[in-house]
Structure 1
Amino acid sequence: MSIVFPIEEDDRYRRYTASAGQKAFAVPFPFQQNEDVAILLQTAPSEYTEFSPTAYVLAGANDPSGGSFTMNVGRTAGDVILVLGRAILDRMSSIVTNGRFRSELIDGELDRIRIIQQEIARDNERAMKVDYGAPGYTIANDLADGELLMKSGQRFVAGPDASEIQNAQGYAQAASLSEIAAGLSANAAAGSAGAAAASATLAQKWATNAEDAEVVPGSGLFSAYHWYSKTLALYNSVVAGLAGAIHGATAKTAFVAADELGFWDSVSGALRKITLANFWAQSKWKSVKIGEYYFVNTGLVGVDIPPTSDPEVVFIELTAGLTGAGGFNNGKLTTESVTGSAPLVVATAVISVAGSPMNGQTINLLNTEGRILRPSASPNTKQDDQLQEHGHRQMLSSAGSLGGAPQSPTVSTANNGAQLDSNITLVVTTTGGAVRTGTETRMKNIGVKAYMRIK
């Protein structure tokens, strides 16, 4: 033992149970450098997690009385902290040939050897030992928690676990009892043979005795067939009663929203009801067929507009430019195209909705095109507007030129029928004198918005 750095007998570890917020702890044994001490947190019996050296500040290296460490973060009450001497197996100095001899260095190295001896002795005390002269053993590294050790040659391997040993003891006891029971069973078997025949007859009665016939006279107990008959009769009575109640109920000539319908709920497996108001609200869009157009004047307040998102009923608005985020057609149409100019605009898109029988088909965006529907022997044939070919007879004045003062017409039959043959002037006008002309041919109308159901 060094006089300068005395090494007393010590196991070189301590356990502390922290109080709430505690940071400072003692290291009550000497150490030469900070790397020779480890700080660990006990996480379970015999299980530890080592703190990083950055998680605490260690002081007292080369102090014969030991040192201390301070945690950066206060500990939780009840934390178990282990301070463990763990000297690095390395020399701290070197002596060269013909070099200067320094007793202080030699003393330090001997102190370090003593510290390492104490730590090795501490760890050896924790090890499993065999008798003197006996060979050493190894332990298999594939042992699972709860398995017992079993000697196999020079190794300890996994043996039966505690539950298997307990089961084996139970099996031994059960075997002994079974031997006794076997003797008793042999005696009982003879009596059971007779009882079995009687039981078979009784079992048949429990199954098939007629309705209202007791299995055992006076017991009030009946067969399965009896209860089946009773249940069937009750069911038929309930069905007949319900049918009669419905048929005999007072008729109502007009529904109101608060009226209720009964139905079987496939989710809960129970009888449920729904008001007509809810039924109408949830089913009105289902009445529109897939591929059917739905027209509505959205310029009026309170009209029914198809839902933008419904997993069971999917509509598209036949208007270009609504496929972006938040648009009515977002996620429903792709490859949208608008070409031409009014009135010959052509606007199309491709349906892109999984599960739709119309998925992948190209449709015309009627609202953008301003196109109307017309019954046809060739559905989906597109036509532009046109006028039927016809002619106008142009009359000349008496002077042989166009115009002139209007004259009273005379009727002539010279050209296969009645014809006006006089000096008249042809003018296309309206009441009040304003001529209705434009870029398209159309009839008197009011604008509506077109939708189509696609799923």
Structure 2
Amino acid sequence: MAQPPAYNRTKDFATDYPDQTDNQAINNELDGVSLSVNGIRKNLALIQRDDGGLRNNIVTKDALSPELTDELYAEFSGNINDAVLQAQQAAVEADNSAQSAANDAASAAAAKTDAQAAANGAQASAAEASVSQVAAAASSNSASSFATAAAASASASAGSQTAAANSASAAAGSASVAQGSASNSLASATAAETSATTASNQATAAASSASAAAGSATAAGNSATAAGASAGLAQDWAIKTSGPVSGGEFSAKYYATLAAAAQKWATRGVGELVLIWDHLAGADVPPTNNPDFRYIKLTASSSYNSGVLTSESVAGSAPLLTATAIISLAGSPMNGSLVYLINTERRAVRAGASGDIQDDAFQRFALRARRGSGAVGLSADAMGSSDGSLSVGISSAGYYVETTANVVFDAPSGGASVRTAVETRMRNIGASFYMRVK
């Protein structure tokens, strides 16, 4: 809506006599005030909600200064770059953790090997202790045999009692020594068994440590993989332009590129014509899904105009086709206007009063014959005529006379080829007109 009219008082009531009241002037002044106030209220309702806040979709990117747009883009790009750097740092730390876990696993494997060697040594010691125990038992049995023999000798020969007693005493000492040896062997076997148990426990603990280290290495690898994926996703959110990043959401660079591409179409004026060779692949055509602007293609039955044009009409036959439609687009200042679909009509645009329509025409001319003696005739082969021959009489009143014959400009019989058609035109190539309507 245009700006409401300013209120300017037109009547000075102080000039009236005290007993006079200019009711019509009062009405005029109040009407002027009403028009201005109502216009202000109507314009205010376009931008302000009932709760006092701005209406939705009032502030668009076109309302933002280029400096603010650049600052927002720089801030978003900085945040995304920070996220990428953090993801890359996380990937490095995860890789370091994986390397540390691998080193721990190697150390645990070495500890397990050492523990296994200790267990093997303990088992060998236990085997040696068992052999010693068997030898001690044999010595004990031998000593007992000696004691029995000595006792028999004492009973058989009293004379040998002292010697037998000494022999028995020596045998008892030997038995005591053998018993001590057996005890020491048993203690050695017990210690060896304890050592073997400890070594086995250490080996089990080392195996558990190795398993835990392997799990830590796997977790670190998974963390590194996840960090890499996170870094890749962050990069997609920053610069991917080949398609959406997630669902229907696109990257910051995609939206920035889209905004830059749309800017050139948003800067053209409503009613401005744009000529495009849209038959070429990759031609840049105004988008139809931008809420800030809308163009129409001045071609009948074009899907580009879906939901924007109504009451399309194509009448007549070439070259005098008449193709029109009604603009039907809420929010367009041209809503309800008649528009000529000049791409279908193949109508040329020329300078003059805007919207002034003209059909093709040929400038009127007169065919004359030079004065001479006798009658002068024009050959139908020379000029061509829908009436047959073209004869011109000579008038004594002047040097030239006009003919009323219908002249057709075409090639004479047997002459060179001449290009003819149902319209007069210059050499040309077609292109499509588009027009901004919102």
Shorter-chain TM-score range: 0.3 to 0.5
TM-score (norm 1): 0.34
TM-score (norm 2): 0.35
The structure with more helix, counted as a fraction of residues: 2
The structure with more strand, counted as a fraction of residues: 1
Q: Which is greater in Rg?
A: 2
